[in-house]
Each structure stands twice: as structure tokens, then as C-alpha cells.
Amino acid sequence: MDLAHVLLLVVAGLAAGAINAIAGGGSLITFPSLIATGLPSVAANVTNSISVFPGYVSSVAGSRADLTGQRARLTRILPTCVLGAVAGCALLLLTPARAFELIVPFLVLGAAATLAFQERLRGLVGHPRHMSPRRAVVSLQLVVFIGAIYGGYFGAALGVMYVAALALILDEPLNRINSLKNVLSAAVGLITLLIFAIFAPVNWLAVAILAPATVVGGYAGAKLARRMPSHVLRAVIVSFGTGIGLLLLYRALR
């Protein structure tokens, strides 16, 4: 790996860490960058999953003030998140990826549209405060589990999907939902790190270059997200999600 490749990974890590903290989708910067250094696609995918994990942790640190009062909720959903991430990693390692790659762009675009039209959709499905306690619990667990499977398998734009879904079922400001997304993304990232480190062809030199950069970018991005008004944060996430979905669709169909 030459100096140009090192600089490419550092810049990609900084940008991806910030984007993951604000909206999600930073892997679409780091994954192509790893490919550009000469890594095969599978090695680049698993190396990327491990590299972005420290950035998720720093995002949690940067948004910890918005986690106040959410300890009980996190205690209930983190085990579900872990189980989903394990299932997603198993799918990645044991099944062909082509069919899922064709579905992913539509999931991302759907998540962006869900967040964009959140209030109208709430009018159709009901506002979170009107949900029965049982429905609220089941809906939250289901969203967390499905999102974690996706995160363990593929992961790009996981944050967009989590924010969009959680915003429909939780009666919370978007900044607090974003902080919850950061914790869930970090939990998924930890599981992928543990599994891929043992069973997958990780390039540890690339990890050593990317990971510190994602930490810096993640912390800065989380601080920036906390200062954004909800409507601005929503617009940023929707814009990123739409762009990411269209890019993934282009890659899947070409």
C-alpha cells in the first residue's frame, strides 16, 4: 500500500465517520476506497465493516447527552439487535449476495421516503403516542431486529433505515432518535467485528489506517448533528439516503 492509498483511506475514514454519525451511508465512501487500494470485494467488505466500528463508538460518545433517559429502552432492545446482527453476518458468510444486492437500493430509497413523509405516514398508521403498549414494544423489537440483520449482512445506509423506522414508532425528537441509532449501529458493528475478525479475510493494515480516521469523523459528526434543528437534520438524512439508494441501484443494475 503506497502513500496515495494511505491518504485516500484517511480522507475516506474522516468523511465516512462524520456521515455515519449524521445520517448513515459512510460505507459507500470507505468500501470503494478499499477496492481502489487493490483489495478483492469480499475482503474490502469485511475490512470496511471492522474499520467503521470505532467511528460508531465515537458517534455514541458525541451524542451521549441525547441518550439521557433511554437506558431502559436500550436494555430491552440491545439483545434483539445482537441476535439480528449475528443472523446478518451468517447470511453474508453462507449465502450468495446477488439477490440481496438487488433489494437493498429499494430498501434505502424506501427508508428515505418514509422519513421525508413521516408526518403523512403517521396519519395513516397512527401517531406513536396512540399506540397500545404491546404494539409499541413489538414494533420496536421488530424494527431493531430487521435492521440489525441488514446491518450484519450489508450495512450501507443502516442509519438512514433505523432513523426512518424509529421515527415512525417512537414519540421522540429526531436528535434523540439519531442518538439511539448511533448505539444500535455500534452494537451491530461490534458483532460484525467479532465474527469477521475470526472467520473472514480482513486486511488489518487497512483497518489500522481507516479506523482512527472514522473515530475523529464520527465524534465531529455527532456533535454537528446535535446542533442541527430537526427539520435540517431530517433534510440531510433524506438527501443522503436518496443519493445512496440511487447509487446502489445504479451499481446493482449495471
Q: Mean pLDDT lowest for which of 27-31, 50-54, 203-207? A: 27-31
Question: How many CB atoms sit inside 10 A of residue 97's CB?
Answer: 15
pLDDT of residue 207: 93
162: closest CA among 125, 120, 239, 107?
Answer: 107
pLDDT tens figures, 38-78: 888 778 878 888 888 888 888 898 888 889 999 999 999 99
CA 44 to CA 14: how far, in whole Å? 18
CA 86 to CA 204: how far, in whole Å? 22
Question: Are 30 and 17 contacting, i.e. CB atoms less than 8 angstroms apart?
Answer: no
pLDDT beyond 60 at 126: no
Question: Are 127 and 120 contacting, i.e. CB atoms less than 8 angstroms apart?
Answer: no
pLDDT of residue 244: 74
Mean pLDDT throughout 19-35?
79
b vs e for 225-241, b when ≥16 Cβ sit within 10 Å of the residue's Cβ?
A: bbebeeeebbebbbebb
What DSSP letter does each residue of 191-242 carry, written as one string?
HHHHHHHHHS---HHHHHHHHHHHHHHHHHHHHHHHHS-HHHHHHHHHHHHH
Out of 98-107, 149-158, 183-192, give the one with best mean pLDDT. Answer: 183-192
pLDDT of residue 127: 62
Output the pTM of the full model: 0.79
pLDDT of residue 216: 93
pLDDT tens figures, 77-116: 999 999 999 999 888 888 776 666 677 788 778 777 776 7
CA 24 to CA 221: how far, in whole Å? 11
Out of 104-108, 127-131, 198-202, give the one with best mean pLDDT. Answer: 198-202
Residue type, 37: T
Write down the domain spans for the chain.
3-253
- Reported as half-sphere exposure (CB side, CA atoms, 13 A), residue 42 has a value of 12
CA 232 to CA 196: how far, in whole Å? 36
